[in-house]
């Protein structure tokens, strides 16, 4: 390479090119940070950042004692952002509206205690909400919030602000689990989403934790026209 590069993005791009062209085939040991820094005329920290990005994408494997190796079976990583429904709807150029359908503090139901490993005495805030885009149903949200983890939720009415927006501002999480699946709309879901009972719906489920403390479980039901897009 004749031109020296100093940007970590340029270094990352060049390393990706070499991997794609089998300069370093799958399983091959790559040069160390010091050698790459000398070649590119860059600081080792800049090279390290480029290598970290490649490791996150699954193209390389880094181990302290054995060095950096091109992955034998690259695994591409899809990053899922947790969008605010309001912003998701407004990004489509539609007008957002929100309606709180139900709010009650209850003992955690059996299925929830099993999913979040909650104790028998756990109390949760159960919320039912409808999100609309240009007055058309966009998402039916059913959510349970652990009051042990987020006690302030018990005093929040959620009549104007949706629970997802409130949690983003008041209850940060460190780990999340997502489930996506197809199902058939039950009677209530069909009525709220203006569908025929039994019609296909797109369902997203999400659980979040702060360290080992479960925060919330939410079930989001969309009409069959809903699309979810991510990049890898």
Residue-wise pLDDT for 118-158, tens only, equals 999 999 999 999 999 999 999 999 999 999 999 999 999 99
Q: Report yes or no: 125 and 112 within 8 Å, Cβ to Cβ.
A: no
Q: 186 CB contacts (<8 Å, ≥6 apart)?
A: 197
Structure tokens at 147: 């009051």
Question: Which residues partner with 204 through β-bridges?
Answer: 180, 220
Q: What letters, b where the CB count within 10 A reaches 16 and e where it falls short, cover 75-101?
A: eeeeeeeeeebbeebeeeeeebebebe
Q: Report yes or no: 96 and 133 within 8 Å, Cβ to Cβ.
A: yes
Q: 14 CB contacts (<8 Å, ≥6 apart)?
A: 1, 5, 40
Low-confidence ranges of the chain (pLDDT < 50): 1-4
pLDDT at position 171: 85
pLDDT at position 63: 86
Which burial class, exposed, middle or buried, applies to 148 when counting CB atoms under 10 A from its CB (0-12, 13-18, 19+)? middle
pLDDT at position 64: 81
Q: Cα separation of 102 and 129, whole Å?
A: 7
Q: Cα separation of 222 and 103, whole Å?
A: 21
Residue-wise pLDDT for 163-185, tens only, equals: 999 998 888 887 889 999 999 99
Domains of the chain with CATH codes: 8-70 (1.10.10.10), 85-222 (3.40.1410.10)
From residue 124, how far is each of 92, 112, 127, 159 by CA, in Å? Answer: 33, 10, 10, 18
What CA dihedral angle connects 110, 172, 209 and 57, to 10 degrees?
140
pLDDT at position 3: 47
pLDDT at position 212: 83
Q: Report yes or no: 120 and 192 within 8 Å, Cβ to Cβ.
A: no
pLDDT at position 111: 96
């Amino acid at each position: 390479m004749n031109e020296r590069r100093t940007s970590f993005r340029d270094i990352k791009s060049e390393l990706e090119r070499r991997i794609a062209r089998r300069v370093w085939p799958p399983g091959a040991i790559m040069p160390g940070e010091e050698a790459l820094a000398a070649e590119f005329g860059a600081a080792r920290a800049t090279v390290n950042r480029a290598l970290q990005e490649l490791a996150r994408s699954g193209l390389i494997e880094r181990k302290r004692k054995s060095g950096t190796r091109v992955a034998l079976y690259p695994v591409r990583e899809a990053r899922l952002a947790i969008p605010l429904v309001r912003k998701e709807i407004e990004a489509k150029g539609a007008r957002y509206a929100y309606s709180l359908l139900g709010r009650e503090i209850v003992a955690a139901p059996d299925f929830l205690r099993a999913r979040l490993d909650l104790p028998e005495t756990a109390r949760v805030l159960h919320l039912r909400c409808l999100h609309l885009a240009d007055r058309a149903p966009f998402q039916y949200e059913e959510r349970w919030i652990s009051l042990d983890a987020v006690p302030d939720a018990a005093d929040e009415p959620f009549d104007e602000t949706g629970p997802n927006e409130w949690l983003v501002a008041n209850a940060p999480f460190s780990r999340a689990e997502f489930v996506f699946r197809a199902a058939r709309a039950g009677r209530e879901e069909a009525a709220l989403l203006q569908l025929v009972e039994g019609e296909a719906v797109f369902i997203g489920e999400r659980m979040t934790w702060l360290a080992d403390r479960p925060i919330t479980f939410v079930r989001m039901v969309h009409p069959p026209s809903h699309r979810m897009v991510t990049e890898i």
